[in-house]
């Protein structure tokens, strides 16, 4: 890719930035909502769509994406029977929640900092079958430590708790939850673990199995920079006791054209060898966008080429820089995102931009702030809303997110613009 290095693995970040179809002059600090597609990903959507547009072939087999799933699964250190290409994290999460074998009175433990896609689906289940839903408010602020989160959740588990559901990284405050420790806690209590991993792929160099969860539903269009309308779903389909010693949960793969039309699938395995391909049941669900799956696979292949370990390091370096600049300009007390505990840090940084603390409750003001950044400076961030312990009203925060196509100068410029705009509005 460069004169010095012919491969992407060794390419300079300034060269890698050129792979992306970024809007000239814009500053994209909103990967927590949507990533920027590489040109190669857009080209794949176009090429594969054109290939199938004539309607000359059997569109069903390629819509199961067996090869793409195998390649993507490998990148996340799992197998094809555990990996599904979905339409987004929301779809994956809904199919997990409605596929669980839950009954009236069973308790789901989660947090108020979950995405709407998680809370609305669990609430639907509460209304439909009478599960009980317990939501805890996570602590916020620079000084939060992993133990506070673990203690909060551990203390809330009861004999009725059946499921522990949480975001790997929360979208509101960018708190990276101690996933492995929470899963181990769940294992000790025999709980099913459901992780909203929307923000994880493309950011972290993940071994999905080693996290220890039963289900991880992810977005393909955020940090992984696949097309909008793509997602990944990991479904634990065999037992690796070192990662999760619990039996596989009963699971009903809703929306399927492959689940048997008569009789039942074989009993779920109790060993490291699958008895059935659960991901196929979920993947085979009528006609699919062949182009979408191919393009997500192209994005993943690009990440493998650049190096997922290298990508994670770079994202975190940029985030550390952004966190330091935000803390410097707005003060540590303005931060909703954790910073002191390295285990909780992520590249999503949420903070209160205004001088008056009560402006944290002013939705119009944070909205106008975010819109001004876009209109006047082509600076793309977002605002988030979330419960804060002890506050009678939700707080509204400004949130920026770093990715490999950003650089240090751009972050400095963005934080300057944010500080100036906030000052004008304070």
User: Which residues make up the interface to ligand PLP (CB under 6 A)?
Assistant: 32-33, 88-90, 115, 117, 167, 171, 196, 198-199, 219, 231
Rounded CA separation 33/199 (Å): 9
Residue 376 φ/ψ, nearest 5 degrees:
-90, -25
Q: How far is the CB of 382 from ligand PLP (least distance, A)?
A: 9
Q: Of 33 and 49, which has the nearer Cβ to ligand PLP?
A: 33
Q: How far is the CB of 34 from ligand PLP (least distance, A)?
A: 8
10 Å CB burial of residue 198 (0-12, 13-18, 19+) is buried
Q: How far is the CB of 15 from ligand PLP (least distance, A)?
A: 29
Q: Of 212 and 226, which has the nearer Cβ to ligand PLP?
A: 226
Q: How far is the CB of 194 from ligand PLP (least distance, A)?
A: 12
Pairing of strands 348-351, 379-380: unpaired
Residues 6+ positions from 97 with CB-CB distance below 8 Å? 118, 121, 122, 125, 194
Q: Of 163 and 199, which has the nearer Cβ to ligand PLP?
A: 199
Residues in the chain: 426
Residues 6+ positions from 397 with CB-CB distance below 8 Å? 172, 173, 336, 350, 351, 352, 360, 366, 383, 384, 385, 386
Q: How far is the CB of 383 from ligand PLP (least distance, A)?
A: 13
Q: Of 80 and 117, which has the nearer Cβ to ligand PLP?
A: 117
Rounded CA separation 79/382 (Å): 35
Among 84, 9, 2, 50, smallest CA distance to 305 is for 9
**Cβ proximity of 133 and 160 under 8 Å:** no
Residue with tokens 């197998």: 79
Residue with tokens 């408010």: 137
Q: How far is the CB of 359 from ligand PLP (least distance, A)?
A: 24
Q: Of 277 and 289, which has the nearer Cβ to ligand PLP?
A: 289
Q: Of 114 and 359, which has the nearer Cβ to ligand PLP?
A: 114
Rounded CA separation 179/344 (Å): 10
Number of helices (H), then strands (E), belonging to the chain: the values are: 13, 12
Rounded CA separation 248/148 (Å): 29
Q: Of 27 and 167, which has the nearer Cβ to ligand PLP?
A: 167
Q: Of 235 and 248, which has the nearer Cβ to ligand PLP?
A: 235
Q: How far is the CB of 200 from ligand PLP (least distance, A)?
A: 9
Rounded CA separation 44/38 (Å): 10
Q: How far is the CB of 166 from ligand PLP (least distance, A)?
A: 10
Q: How far is the CB of 406 from ligand PLP (least distance, A)?
A: 18
Q: Of 119 and 152, which has the nearer Cβ to ligand PLP?
A: 119
């Amino acid at each position: 890719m460069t004169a010095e290095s012919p491969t992407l693995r060794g390419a300079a970040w300034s060269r890698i930035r050129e792979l992306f179809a970024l809007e000239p002059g814009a500053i994209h600090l909103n990967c927590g909502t949507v990533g920027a597609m590489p040109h190669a990903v857009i080209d794949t959507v176009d090429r594969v769509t054109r290939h199938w547009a004539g309607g000359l072939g059997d569109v069903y087999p390629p819509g199961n994406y067996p090869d793409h799933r195998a390649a993507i699964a490998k990148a996340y250190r799992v197998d094809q029977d555990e990996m599904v290409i979905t339409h987004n994290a929301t779809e994956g999460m809904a199919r997990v929640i409605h596929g669980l074998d839950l009954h009236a009175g069973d308790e789901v433990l989660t947090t108020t900092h979950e995405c709407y896609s998680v809370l609305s689906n669990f609430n639907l289940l509460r209304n439909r079958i009478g599960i009980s839903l317990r939501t805890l408010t996570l602590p916020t602020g620079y000084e939060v430590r992993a133990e506070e989160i673990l203690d909060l959740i551990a203390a809330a588990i009861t004999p009725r708790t059946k499921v522990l559901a949480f975001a790997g990284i929360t979208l509101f405050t960018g708190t990276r939850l101690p996933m492995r420790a929470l899963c181990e806690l769940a294992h000790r209590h025999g709980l099913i673990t459901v992780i909203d991993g929307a923000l994880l792929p493309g950011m972290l160099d993940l071994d999905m199995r080693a996290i220890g969860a039963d289900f991880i539903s992810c977005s393909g269009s955020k940090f992984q920079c696949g097309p909008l309308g793509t997602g990944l779903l990991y479904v634990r389909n065999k037992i690796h006791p070192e990662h999760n010693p619990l039996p596989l949960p009963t699971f009903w793969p809703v929306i399927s054209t492959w689940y048997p039309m008569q009789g039942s699938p074989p009993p779920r395995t109790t060993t490291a060898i699958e008895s059935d391909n659960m991901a196929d049941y979920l993947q085979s669900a009528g006609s699919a966008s062949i182009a979408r799956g191919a393009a997500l696979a192209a994005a993943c292949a690009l990440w493998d080429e650049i190096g997922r370990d290298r990508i994670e390091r770079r994202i975190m370096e940029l985030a550390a820089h952004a966190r330091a600049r935000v803390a410097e300009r707005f003060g540590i007390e303005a931060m909703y995102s954790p910073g002191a505990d390295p285990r909780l840090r992520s590249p999503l940084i949420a903070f209160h931009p205004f001088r008056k603390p009560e402006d944290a409750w002013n939705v119009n003001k944070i909205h106008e702030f975010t819109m001004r950044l876009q209109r006047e400076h082509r600076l793309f961030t977002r605002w988030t809303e979330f419960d804060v312990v002890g506050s009678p009203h939700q707080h509204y925060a400004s949130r920026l997110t770093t990715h490999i196509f950003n650089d240090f100068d751009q972050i400095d410029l963005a934080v300057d613009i944010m500080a100036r705009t906030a000052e004008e509005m304070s």
